[in-house]
Structure 1
Amino acid sequence: MTESFLPHMNGVTGSVLQILRHLEHEGHVAHVLAPDAVGIPDSLHGARVEPVPSLALPGYRNVRVGAVTAHRVAASLERFRPDVVHLASPFALGWRGVLAAGRLDVPAVAAYQTDVAAYTERYRLAATTSFAQNHIVRLHRRATLTLAPSTESERQLEGLGVDRLRRWGRGVDAERFHPRRRDGTWRRASADDVLIGYVGRLAAEKQVEDLRVLQDIPGARLVVVGDGPARARLQAALPGAAFLGHLDGDELATAMASFDVFVHPGESETFGQTLQEAHASGVPIVATGSGGPLDLVRMGIDGWLYRPGDLVDLRMRVADLAGDARKRRAFGEAGRTAVAGRSWSALCSQLLGHFEEATTLHRVDRSLRSPRTRRPEPAQAYPGRRWSRFVALGDSLTEGLCDPAPDGALRGWADRLALLLAARGGLHYANLAVRSRRVDDVCGEQLQRARELRPDLVSILVGANDLVRTGADVGALAARLEGAVRTLRADGADVLLVTPFLPDRRAAGLFARRFAAFSGALAGIADRTGAMLLDTDLHPSLADRSNWGEDLVHLGSRGHRFLAYRAGEVLDVPHAEALGALDAVLHDAEPSTRAAWWREHALPWAWRRMRGRVAGDGRVAKHDDYVYIGRSTSLREARVR
């Protein structure tokens, strides 16, 4: 499972292609799940390529992000029946992969390749950085084995509490990237200039703008190979540089070998594949002294490392090589020698060894789990399952605040989900949620009433009211909730856990780390108990202002519809994804109603808090007992009946 694949070529795609080639050569059978894109191949190196639904990454119209449910991934894995699941640079699609592997009891090996948290920090998205880091931690903790590409990334992951780490770098195609590719014709336009080259994505996290200090080095010219959202800005900032756009294959190899000095300014690289390719091409390197380059560049032997952020040092190091042809030649030869033992064949053989180790570790893990602690069989293992008694537990979000029906009654995402489920043949539905309720309320009176109703499906969305309180104990809240889930599972009910979420507002960033930690804890609960999980972190558009009500703290009708269809996908409701898209189109022109926020919402809230009261005081559940919803029954009709 890979976050990136053809036709988009980058370091992740390149490593996956090399792995597939090696697996075919060694007689293994492979299957690829990758984000769908125009031009994606049906098969490659004997492996079938299965495209999954994807979305375009903002700023990168050709880069796709996998947007598929864990259930669909699990179904694909179950058909293929793999011995091991390899997660290439996992984040969004990889999260579904590690969930699916766990549910099918298959070892998963996660190759850490992209420092997503560093990228979000570079873009000054503090709340997103916290989420990204916590997401990375919980993903790699769930994997059987994590492969770190460098000493720095290994140290970073250890500091975050990720264990079972192994070093696995990247190979280099030393035949394609070779000094003999150096082309005088290619260099002719620059006459006798020393060519200082950069190869990579043109984006903020790559820090290409730092190369501005190299533009006036006498007798030198800057050449930039690559494309990305920052290209126009960089062309304005580097007017003397030659921008060649995206190159690959033999064209890239020719450009690389024709450089005199290769420069790499990015500080967030977990490895640095282009550095290896420069060395294989016999080109000396100047790189920042952080991350992956620390393992690849030997100071004073095959290149220079400059102090991160010190552009004076960067200029001095590049000028030193630009003015000394003998040193460039010596550094280049040393670099070529250094990569001799890093062929893709050798690296992929190491990877097969890691696969074998993961299989052994997985068997040990399985043997250590007693029968009482083994994971129950999840509901997702039975596609198309129907439920007849559905009970929703939670707070104001599940009650449906800010989502009024035409008759004025609240409906909300759980009510909408009940209608989806009822379309399969009728449903008895109860909604015990009440605004302002907390984890203790759900695990107390709501749980007690739910058990009396003997449901076969229970949804739980709670925790936000606890997490915004001073001194919230995430571990204690999760432990309390896990007890409730285990009780319901022991009663024979399937449980859908929904992670709480925040709106896209600056103030929400204060709680982002706490919410991310609680979401990670819920993922662990789902894994241990066999509950189903709707991980709202994987649907970042839910935070958009258009999905929230006029009070800015509860979902509006659009948000409730969005959440209902995402829940439907987890529960394998037929065509839930397509129905959700159609529903969004039909309501696209829905008018926006904005009240005087301070007068209508903020001040009443503050007044209640001063008096030690909450909005739910004196309220009872709107459906404390079952209402029956038939195939064509609305909730209003159900209430009348």
Structure 2
Amino acid sequence: MRVALLAESFLPHMNGVTGSVLHVLRHLAADGHETLVIAPRAGEITTDLHGARTELMRSVPLPSYPDVRVVFARAARLTAILREFAPDVVHLASPFVLGWQGVAAADALRVPAVAVYQTDVVAYAEKYGMPHASSLVGRHLARLHRRATLTLAPSTASMRQLEELGVDRLRRWGRGVDTARFGPQRRSEVWRARIAPGELIVGYVGRLAPEKQVQDLAALAGLEGVRLVIVGDGPARPALERLLPHAVFTGHLSGDALAETLASFDVFVHPGESETFGQTIQEALASGVPVVATGVGGPVDLVRSSVDGWLYRPGDLADLRARVADLVGDGGKRRAFAAAAGESVRDRTWDAVCRRLMAHYDEARQLRPIDDALPRGGVTRPSVPEPPAGRRTWSRFVALGDSITEGLCDTSRMPAGEYRGWADRLAQLLAHARRGDEPFRYANLAVRSRTVRSLVDEQVPQALALRPDLVSVLIGANDLVARRVDPVAVAADVEVAVRRLRDAGIDVLLVTPFLPGRRAAAIFARRFAMFASELRRIAADTGAALLDTAVFLDAGGRPAIADLELWADDKVHLRSRGHRFLAYRAAEALGVPDAEALGDLEAALHADDDPVASGTWLRRDALPWVWRRLRGRTAGDGRVAKHEGYVLIGGRGDVRAGLRAG
């Protein structure tokens, strides 16, 4: 894979953004990937870049913080650089100015862009005396991250912040810690005797800048037998030295010197309230040092209060002092917290974190072709579904929809004239997933040719009367192929139906309709994309589960459901193989254990036994459809649902009341 990394700040200035980029470069190089770094030019670079090519751009220092430099690069220049490198993915490290141009260049080349949120720029604007600019900064961040293919946030707090800004496609991706470098074995009594002989050491490591709130450590003044040690540098250092005259300021440390210093602390303290993560907190924990940090932002995910440290009330400096005093005054508690601290980061190595990053790259590469196929403006982008939190089972399942959910053309191991279908198969999977022997109840109210209006007026009332705990909804294709149709208006009727079900306390699986990969179907592609976009919004607004058929791609980057091998001879319905595919994707969306493995097994053991259709497609399928339309009739006229009431699927998967196994 070829990865282009655009870093808003870079060497020789060392901070969290630079550090994480260097770790990513190392991991990518070790796995044989090619990398390009585009970043501000700020001075000589002597650090090993692990074979990465570099394009260092002319930059200007930020007036209030000269260590931070800003690149004003034209998108056309970045586009040319990226076109020549031909990346498979663009990694935007803490994007803001350079990142905005980078995401525009990625769009121009149709390359997936993964934006890594690392800096709370909104909070920084306020800390640097620009409160009126914070809303503008927030809007810019929201536009940038919504434009990226995928956004990675390091903590639950930053996830919530971005969600409140309206950013979609969020994934959690933290930072690794170098457990080989940072560890309790680095503790040095020689260093301690030189810095603070006979005293306990409370230390801070980080940038000395207003947003870090290091001045809050003045609350620790006068703690008996305690020496405050400040590691780091930055524009606030002169003022802090005046404010904290008894503290030891070491300046910037890195590498083994930093590891020795951290491990030699007795307590690590971090007062910043605008941390998206808190890398130095993680390094302190790895060093076996208990942490006292503010109970907001990134530290909340890292510090287990009363286990390996304390979280104090944000802004409450008396509480900060009390928490530090508690640890420096109790050696037994300090040792217990220290032991737990080391254990907490055991599985947070950079190798493990970078493996997860590669999975996010792969997801972005899946999503980019889908984004390119969507009509521009006013649509909600699909997201690859994440596994539901926790395992849920149901006992009463009702399927709603049209001929696809009825199962038309799925004749696998069924008597003549009867059909099986994806919903029947899903019902059996749900029954198998239940514990115990209690029968599973299943009804299928779908009827061929039905429209969304039928869903609202007929099927939802019938479903409510059955009092299910799960309902699936797959409908809308018949509306969307009409001569004139407003996909948004059709989706609004689906929303009415979904909200009625959700208001009754029923879980809903909402499935986006799909088209076969035929040239003739392309005339409806825009309508289906707009309708699916609205269904994604409805699912997000109502808490419905979503089976987004667009996100399962084949080797060519198209939705896999479009593969003609899944479609019947009539060119508009799924064959048995297609219904199997849909059933197992639905089971995955609902969190059924081992659904994918079960699907592969069934596909291997059961070849399709659908009969070969006789006659030509024109005479057999097309002309009867046209004749019905001319007469104002549909194939579903006079038909009733195949399972208007519940059929029982036994606890062991045996099927009664006419629903056949196989």
TM-score (normalised: structure 1): 0.57
Partner of residue 199, structure 1: 205
Aligned-partner Cα distance in 2 for 1:180–1:330: 16
Partner of residue 304, structure 2: 298
Aligned-partner Cα distance in 2 for 1:78–1:243: 47
Task: Pick from 224, 243, 251 the counterpart of residue 257 of structure 2.
Answer: 251
Superposed, 1:494-533 pairs within 5 Å as none
Cα deviation, 1:252-277, whole Å, max 9, x if unaligned, reads: 11110010000000000000000000
The Cα of 1:216 is off from its aligned counterpart by 0.7
Contact kept, 8 Å, 1:270 with 1:291, in 2: the verdict is yes
C-alpha RMSD of matched pairs (Å): 1.5
Change (3 A) 1:275 1:8: same
Task: Pick from 236, 244, 249 the counterpart of residue 230 of structure 1.
Answer: 236
Aligned-partner Cα distance in 1 for 2:155–2:91: 19
Partner of residue 81, structure 1: 86
User: Given residue 360 of structure 1, which amino acid in structure 2 is its aligned partner?
Assistant: Q
The Cα of 1:213 is off from its aligned counterpart by 1.1
Aligned-partner Cα distance in 1 for 2:45–2:182: 25
Contact kept, 8 Å, 2:290 with 2:309, in 1: the verdict is yes
Aligned-partner Cα distance in 2 for 1:241–1:85: 43
Partner of residue 129, structure 1: 134
Change (3 A) 1:125 1:61: closer
Partner of residue 353, structure 1: 359
User: Given residue 61 of structure 1, which amino acid in structure 2 is its aligned partner?
Assistant: P
Task: Pick from 196, 200, 214 the counterpart of residue 208 of structure 1.
Answer: 214
Aligned-partner Cα distance in 1 for 2:98–2:46: 18
Cα deviation, 1:205-232, whole Å, max 9, x if unaligned, reads: 1111110011211110100001111111
Aligned-partner Cα distance in 2 for 1:303–1:41: 37
Partner of residue 309, structure 1: 315
Superposed, 1:98-497 pairs within 5 Å as 98-189=103-194, 190-369=196-375
Partner of residue 52, structure 1: 57
Partner of residue 20, structure 1: 25
Contact kept, 8 Å, 1:22 with 1:345, in 2: the verdict is yes
SS at match of 2:34: coil
Aligned-partner Cα distance in 2 for 1:237–1:200: 17
User: Given residue 84 of structure 1, which amino acid in structure 2 is its aligned partner?
Assistant: V
Contact kept, 8 Å, 1:153 with 1:270, in 2: the verdict is yes
Aligned-partner Cα distance in 1 for 2:171–2:44: 34
SS at match of 1:331: helix
Aligned-partner Cα distance in 2 for 1:5–1:328: 37
User: Given residue 330 of structure 1, which amino acid in structure 2 is its aligned partner?
Assistant: A
Percent of residue pairs bearing the same amino acid type: 62
Contact kept, 8 Å, 2:303 with 2:309, in 1: the verdict is yes
Aligned-partner Cα distance in 1 for 2:321–2:205: 18
SS at match of 2:249: strand
Task: Pick from 1, 5, 9 the counterpart of residue 10 of structure 2.
Answer: 5
SS at match of 2:61: strand
The Cα of 1:26 is off from its aligned counterpart by 0.7
Partner of residue 537, structure 1: none
SS at match of 2:180: coil
The Cα of 1:368 is off from its aligned counterpart by 3.2
Contact kept, 8 Å, 1:43 with 1:49, in 2: the verdict is no
Contact kept, 8 Å, 1:108 with 1:358, in 2: the verdict is yes
The gaps in structure 1 that reach 5 residues or longer are 374-641
Aligned-partner Cα distance in 1 for 2:241–2:52: 40
The Cα of 1:50 is off from its aligned counterpart by 1.1
Cα deviation, 1:54-73, whole Å, max 9, x if unaligned, reads: 11122433332222111111
Change (3 A) 1:63 1:123: closer
User: Given residue 308 of structure 1, which amino acid in structure 2 is its aligned partner?
Assistant: P
Change (3 A) 1:41 1:222: closer
Contact kept, 8 Å, 1:42 with 1:50, in 2: the verdict is no
Contact kept, 8 Å, 1:52 with 1:66, in 2: the verdict is yes
Aligned-partner Cα distance in 2 for 1:96–1:257: 41
- Compare 267-276 and 39-48 and name the one that shifted more: 39-48
The Cα of 1:192 is off from its aligned counterpart by 1.8
TM-score (normalised: structure 2): 0.55
SS at match of 2:288: coil
Contact kept, 8 Å, 2:59 with 2:72, in 1: the verdict is yes
1:34 aligns with 2:39: yes
SS at match of 2:140: helix
User: Given residue 97 of structure 2, which amino acid in structure 1 is its aligned partner?
Assistant: A
The Cα of 1:366 is off from its aligned counterpart by 2.1
SS at match of 1:44: coil
Contact kept, 8 Å, 2:155 with 2:276, in 1: the verdict is yes
The Cα of 1:333 is off from its aligned counterpart by 1.1
The Cα of 1:367 is off from its aligned counterpart by 2.9
- Compare 53-62 and 233-242 and name the one that shifted more: 53-62
Contact kept, 8 Å, 1:41 with 1:49, in 2: the verdict is no
Change (3 A) 1:42 1:229: closer
Contact kept, 8 Å, 2:202 with 2:228, in 1: the verdict is yes
Change (3 A) 1:370 1:94: closer
Superposed, 1:549-588 pairs within 5 Å as none
Aligned-partner Cα distance in 2 for 1:95–1:328: 46
The Cα of 1:306 is off from its aligned counterpart by 0.2
User: Given residue 145 of structure 2, which amino acid in structure 1 is its aligned partner?
Assistant: H
Contact kept, 8 Å, 1:215 with 1:241, in 2: the verdict is no
User: Given residue 76 of structure 1, which amino acid in structure 2 is its aligned partner?
Assistant: I
1:67 aligns with 2:72: yes
Partner of residue 420, structure 2: none
SS at match of 2:106: helix
Cα deviation, 1:392-414, whole Å, max 9, x if unaligned, reads: xxxxxxxxxxxxxxxxxxxxxxx
Change (3 A) 1:370 1:111: closer
Contact kept, 8 Å, 1:149 with 1:170, in 2: the verdict is yes
SS at match of 2:73: coil
Contact kept, 8 Å, 1:42 with 1:48, in 2: the verdict is no
Aligned-partner Cα distance in 1 for 2:355–2:184: 26
Aligned-partner Cα distance in 2 for 1:241–1:350: 40
The Cα of 1:131 is off from its aligned counterpart by 1.8
- Greater Rg by CA: 2
The Cα of 1:359 is off from its aligned counterpart by 0.5
The Cα of 1:44 is off from its aligned counterpart by 1.6
Aligned-partner Cα distance in 2 for 1:202–1:184: 26
Contact kept, 8 Å, 1:215 with 1:221, in 2: the verdict is no
The Cα of 1:41 is off from its aligned counterpart by 5.4
Contact kept, 8 Å, 2:11 with 2:43, in 1: the verdict is no
SS at match of 1:146: strand
Aligned-partner Cα distance in 2 for 1:110–1:46: 23
Aligned-partner Cα distance in 2 for 1:142–1:28: 25
User: Given residue 346 of structure 2, which amino acid in structure 1 is its aligned partner?
Assistant: A
Cα deviation, 1:412-435, whole Å, max 9, x if unaligned, reads: xxxxxxxxxxxxxxxxxxxxxxxx
Aligned-partner Cα distance in 2 for 1:257–1:222: 15
